[in-house]
């Protein structure tokens, strides 16, 4: 029996990975700083990738690591760099067979701090002494609502101009990660997975507003900076890699 450690298994993507592993009858341990509530057929280990505390114990008896950790703010971003290096070194010491990382489509083309940290995270995986594989996904269905919801509190629902997304369901991302994690000899080339359709941000914002009954005006905004340019260039899209099956409308209907 293979034991999987899902680093970040309490997060949005990580929870979907845990569900997918359990659906396939695998043994699952979750690693996060706060740990999770016991039960549900999953073991929980508390540990911090950045300080390294708890990693050796969390990795004991683990065959495969799936890394879905995240640090969305400047103060937590070290988890993507120092944290990835610590996790991989502890995994090698513990005799883990392979590690799979969740990353973002075309992340190395992004010239902003978060994407630069994710690119360094990918590099740690490529440089690791154990076999590794990277799965690059498009934005999750949660992504545009995560931008719209806070702004809607002041009556404004942003629709970045000339910006499209190919949103993917985390259950589809999880399927790709677990498929990769079960390969004994992972490929050096990243797996690239996108959602089933490409939508403008206005279409997504409008659909989200209708589904949630949120008040506010969908408003065209030109997103400034490198991030705005990244979206307008369509570097977040992979129309030839429509791996996802769940559409944004279907996802909204389940909220």
Ligand X SMILES: NC(=O)c1ccc[n+]([C@@H]2O[C@H](COP(=O)([O-])OP(=O)(O)OC[C@H]3O[C@@H](n4cnc5c(N)ncnc54)[C@H](OP(=O)(O)O)[C@@H]3O)[C@@H](O)[C@H]2O)c1
For binding to ligand X (CB under 6 A), which residues are involved?
A: 8, 10-14, 32-34, 47-50, 68-72, 76, 79, 83, 102, 104, 118, 137, 139-140, 143
| Minimal distance, residue 51 CB to ligand X, in Å | 8
**According to DSSP H, which parts of 28-169 are helical?**
55-59, 82-93, 113-127, 143-152
| Minimal distance, residue 182 CB to ligand X, in Å | 19
| Minimal distance, residue 118 CB to ligand X, in Å | 6
CB-wise, 50 or 238, nearer to ligand X?
A: 50
CB-wise, 44 or 217, nearer to ligand X?
A: 44
Strands 27-32 and 3-7: parallel
Q: Which residues contact 203 (CB under 8 A, 6 or more apart)?
A: none
CA–CA dist 30, 6 (Å, integer): 5
CA–CA dist 83, 86 (Å, integer): 5
CB-wise, 26 or 236, nearer to ligand X?
A: 236
CB-wise, 41 or 155, nearer to ligand X?
A: 41
CA–CA dist 174, 120 (Å, integer): 22
Contacts of range 43-46, beta carbons closer than 8 Å, 24 or more positions apart: 45/5
Distances, alpha carbon 80 to alpha carbons 109, 129, 130, in Å: 17, 18, 18
| Minimal distance, residue 121 CB to ligand X, in Å | 7
| Minimal distance, residue 170 CB to ligand X, in Å | 7
Cα atoms in the Cβ-side hemisphere of radius 13 Å centred on 139: 25
CB-wise, 116 or 215, nearer to ligand X?
A: 116
* Nearest-CB residue for ligand X: 11
Q: Which residues contact 77 (CB under 8 A, 6 or more apart)?
A: 71, 113, 114, 117
| Minimal distance, residue 18 CB to ligand X, in Å | 10
CB-wise, 134 or 152, nearer to ligand X?
A: 134
CA–CA dist 228, 242 (Å, integer): 23
CB-wise, 48 or 63, nearer to ligand X?
A: 48
Taking alpha carbons only, the member of 58, 32, 14, 43 closest to residue 177 is 14
| Minimal distance, residue 101 CB to ligand X, in Å | 8
């Amino acid at each position: 029996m293979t034991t999987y450690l899902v680093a970040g298994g309490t997060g949005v993507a990580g929870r979907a990975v845990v569900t997918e592993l359990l659906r396939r009858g695998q043994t699952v341990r979750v690693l996060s700083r706060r740990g999770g509530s016991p039960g549900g057929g999953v073991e929980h280990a508390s540990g911090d990738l950045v300080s390294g505390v708890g990693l050796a114990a969390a990795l004991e008896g683990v065959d495969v690591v799936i890394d879905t950790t995240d640090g969305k703010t400047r103060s937590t971003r070290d988890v993507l760099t120092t944290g990835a290096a610590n996790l991989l070194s502890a995994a090698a010491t513990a005799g883990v067979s392979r590690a799979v990382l969740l990353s973002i489509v075309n992340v190395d083309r992004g010239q902003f701090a978060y994407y630069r940290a994710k690119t360094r995270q990918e590099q740690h995986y490529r440089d690791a002494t154990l076999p590794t594989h990277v799965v690059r996904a498009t934005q999750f269905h949660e992504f545009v609502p995560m931008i719209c919801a806070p702004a809607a509190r002041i009556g404004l629902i942003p629709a970045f101009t000339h910006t499209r997304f190919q949103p993917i369901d985390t259950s589809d991302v999880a399927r790709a990660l677990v498929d990769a994690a079960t390969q004994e000899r992972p490929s050096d080339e990243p797996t690239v997975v996108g959602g089933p359709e490409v939508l403008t941000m206005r279409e997504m914002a409008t659909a989200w507003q209708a589904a949630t009954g949120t008040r506010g005006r969908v408003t065209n905004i030109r997103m400034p900076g490198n991030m705005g340019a990244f979206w307008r260039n369509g570097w977040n899209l992979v129309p030839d890699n429509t791996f996802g099956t769940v559409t944004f409308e279907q996802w909204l209907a389940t909220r």
